[in-house]
Amino acid sequence: MSAPEPIPGARLLFSNDAAVAQLNHGSFGLVPIPVQRAQQRLRDEVEANPPRFFSVGLEERIAHVRRHLAAFVGADPDLTALVDNATTGTSTVLAALGGGDGGDGGSLGSGDEIVTTDHGYGAVDLAVDAFCRRTGASRRVARMPLAPDDDAAVEAVLDAVTGRTRLVVVDHITAATARVLPVRRIVEAVRGRAGERAAVLVDAAHAPGILPDPVAGIGADFWVGNLHKWAYAPRGTALLSVAPRWRERLQSLVVSWNQDAGFPDSLEWLGARDYTPWLAAPTGLFVLRSLGLDAVHRHNTALAEHGQALLAEALGEAVPPRTGLPMTVVPLPQGAVTEPAAATALRRRISDELATEVGLAAWRGCGYLRLSAQVYNREDDFQRLVEGLPKLLRR
């Protein structure tokens, strides 16, 4: 497999440090220069006259952006709110489910269960665990193979669902293992097993900009996705979409002036917050569409898979089954990473010694290095890791 041809001019749209091989786009994204400039113009507008910016037409501007972004992910804008990130959206959902005595068709309390998977995002697991400590609920973990097929993924979730299950949290694209899970089938299966007794939250942090219309047709009770990773939006831009029956339950985690306006306005208006990431986000979609969504996806996926093959060969490890994503993982040699602290330490060594940024996670006691590819990457970025990582691990 050879590296794909670069998309002409795409590399010039980004301001990343040329001395660093940036192979970790999936964590924080990189904001294209046109989007940076659009956001700076908005900051200038704020500082020119803050009272006017915040008091004249801002809510309408936010609503316009929400409609634009919701259309991009295939969501109903009236059932969608802008939030800071997927973690904030998850905490908002948990707060909405945390009231009552468990008998009102949705509230979680003592004795109830939340199902997550062992592919889930760590911060979401922490939020669920904190919620369980407050409410007396408990968390059950559905265990899946590293590369489950759709049937295995559905079966694993259903095996964890019991008569006490009130919420299932499942990733659309897993962060640590870079797998696409069949969320529509999982929602249908949970609904068939538990009816409306159990709600389903889809953590789609990586989906916008990778998967087309990721909300449409899933049927989940809650969906949350970031736009700063693969949709070229500034950091701090995400969407929370809810099913109609939950709309009245969703409230902002911070009470502010629009609290009585209900969803989505109460979630979006927090006084003097920085709204410039949201207002600049449509420029990110314009950049992505100008390059061509399909062209970007083909390029990034081919480059990520090429880099995965090169690194796996250099380390003498097998390549996990591919899923057609611009993120791939490579298993590290046995014993290189066995727990999260070791993963963090190795990632920092790779950054310091190889001037290369990667994702790295410990999953079931094994280390997995995650490669992201974006239009600013070239084969040389991956080659630096291929040449340097085996030596670093031997040291």
Greater confidence, 196 or 17?
Answer: 17
pLDDT value of position 106: 58
Q: What is the pLDDT of residues 355-369, one digit of tens each?
A: 999 999 999 999 999
pLDDT value of position 259: 85
The residue ranges of every structural domain in the chain are 10-30+293-394, 36-285
Q: What is the pLDDT of residues 202-246, one digit of tens each?
A: 999 999 999 999 999 999 999 999 999 999 999 999 999 999 999
> Residue 102 — very low, low, confident or very high, per pLDDT cuts 50/70/90?
very low
pLDDT value of position 99: 59
pLDDT value of position 104: 43
Take residue 312 and report the two structure tokens written for it: 């796996």
Query: Residue 202 belongs to what H/E stretch?
Result: strand 199-203
Is it the case that residue 2 has pLDDT exceeding 90?
Answer: no
Question: Which contacts of 93-100 are long-range, i.e. CB under 8 A and separated by 24 or more positions?
Answer: 93/201, 93/222, 93/224, 93/240, 93/250, 94/127, 94/128, 94/131, 95/251, 95/253, 96/246, 96/249, 96/250, 96/251, 97/166, 97/167, 97/199, 97/249, 98/131, 98/134, 98/135
pLDDT value of position 100: 45
Task: State whether CATH 3.30.450.90 applies to domain 10-30+293-394.
Answer: no
List, in sequence order, every beta strand (DSSP E) within 8-79: 21-22
* Of the candidates 214, 126, 109, 217, the residue with the CA atom closest to the CA atom of residue 169: 126
Is it the case that residue 140 has pLDDT exceeding 60?
Answer: yes
Classified by CATH at the fold level, domain 36-285 comes out as Aspartate Aminotransferase; domain 2 (3.40.640)
Q: What is the pLDDT of residues 36-47, one digit of tens each?
A: 999 999 999 999
